[in-house]
A and B are shown apart, each in its own frame.
Chain A
């Protein structure tokens, strides 16, 4: 079999595997549909190559088509008068507002303040919940059993209904916002850490013990890697909750931050600014989520390699 024939077979195989995805190009018009017969002429071969490149491109761009259509609609619909421009300003005016706020430096300030508050609460919660979870789950199972209904009750309490209490105790300062974020991300992280530690296979622990590993090695090499996926689930939930609570906290009582920006622009009827803040909040939340995912992949991949070795 010649080399070109084998390439063709691969190409055809790819074509059928990708189904109807590859029969459309970027503009959505159907391109030449591939046939399953092996083409013998060079021009056919080239067209197949092009189709393959287009289909690969198409597959990569697939995630962005919907977003692109949404953005174009958002720009056009208010301009063409399909929807009320007062309530749905076109995208360009939102960007214009954004660049104005970037220029006078306030936008960066609000983003920085919001991120700082989120990370303060989240990191303090991780710093307390993960060691506490290890101690409770690993060293004192009886005590954990005694405490677990109470902890679950605390975790179930609606954080919003506690908000006035926090304000009563700590005032409308940074401390109240910090404590509400801290409180609401503490519980998911604590619960998943305890569950993660307890779900480590006892066989691994006995094995490590029988091979004479000390406490430190047992912790670093067995318990921590075993519990890490579960802990990360908790951290992801915690980060989502933290960001949600942050915006709420900033809307209820703050003088800076993205939540305040939303509230302030709605009070002053600055609609483009309101959309800008809402968009930024959504984007930041997504970025936070993705970066934790990325970190998780980085750390847990290492663990899998370790397992194989």
Chain B
């Protein structure tokens, strides 16, 4: 048994390592050809790609993707715009108030978004707003909690030394507090965007007439197996792209932190 920290296979990935994915696709391609139940329910990657190509060419896919991304980013943006300033206020300026409302916020954060969806539908109708509200609801909690934790976790020594050097409040905020809290905020944003995309598909499956979730749902109802697989693939790929984009942004924005750690 060999286990070591430096050589953790889990963290590495090179081209050769991707061979398992190629193998998986090969099996997926061949399995439906064996016939039987698999033939009916499994669409091979070639058929999925063909369907994807058709959807791409008639512009349908583009429409669904833009609608879905629009909803997700609307909910996410509103949540971030409310949660980050609120987190700064609760974590920094009104600490004792934060102590009192924290259990309430934790409880609200636990409220299952699916059980709220009927309420949102009742309040806003089966409209865009109810879907955006659901995404907003799942995004706001991780961003808020992580911002509060990030702001509370700032080393008081940093603030005091900046103060003693005669810094003014706005400069203190932009030069000390914001950078020191940004890792926490970023964790929240990353978690929020992940759940936003996750919930988006669910919301679109429950009540929508466009979007990727609807595409999955519609394909299942009409028993269009290749389209069902195609939509699943598009959703997975989009999720992966979103994730790696955020990681890239994090490395770009918070690169100084990693550099400081390495020294």
What is the interface of chain A, defined by CB distance below 8 A to chain B?
20-21, 62-67, 70, 87, 137-139, 141-142, 144-150, 153, 156-165, 167-169, 191, 194-195, 197-202, 205, 243-244, 247-248, 251-252, 258-259, 262-263, 265-266, 271, 274, 277-278, 281-282, 285-286, 289
Contact = CB atoms under 8 A, between A and B. Distances in A.
B104 interface: yes
Interface residues of B, number: 61
B119 to A, nearest CB: 7
B110 A282 contact: yes
A164 B118 CA distance: 21
Contacts of A191: 10
B101 interface: yes
A160 B205 contact: yes
Nearest to B18: A149
B102 interface: yes
A156 to B, nearest CB: 6
Contact of A138 (B3, B111, B216, B217): B3
A67 B107 contact: yes
B12 A145 contact: yes
A150 B24 contact: yes
B20 A263 contact: no
Contacts of A289: 110
Secondary structure dominating the interface of B = helix
A153 B21 contact: yes
B66 to A, nearest CB: 18
A162 B205 CA distance: 12
Interface of B: 1-5, 7-10, 12-13, 17-21, 23-24, 41, 96, 99-104, 106-107, 110-116, 118-119, 121-123, 197-198, 201-202, 205-206, 212-213, 216-217, 219-220, 225, 228, 231-232, 235-236, 239-240, 243
A282 B118 contact: no
19 contacts: A70-B104, A141-B2, A141-B7, A149-B20, A156-B243, A161-B232, A167-B220, A194-B10, A199-B5, A199-B8, A202-B5, A247-B112, A247-B114, A274-B115, A278-B111, A278-B119, A282-B107, A282-B112, A289-B110
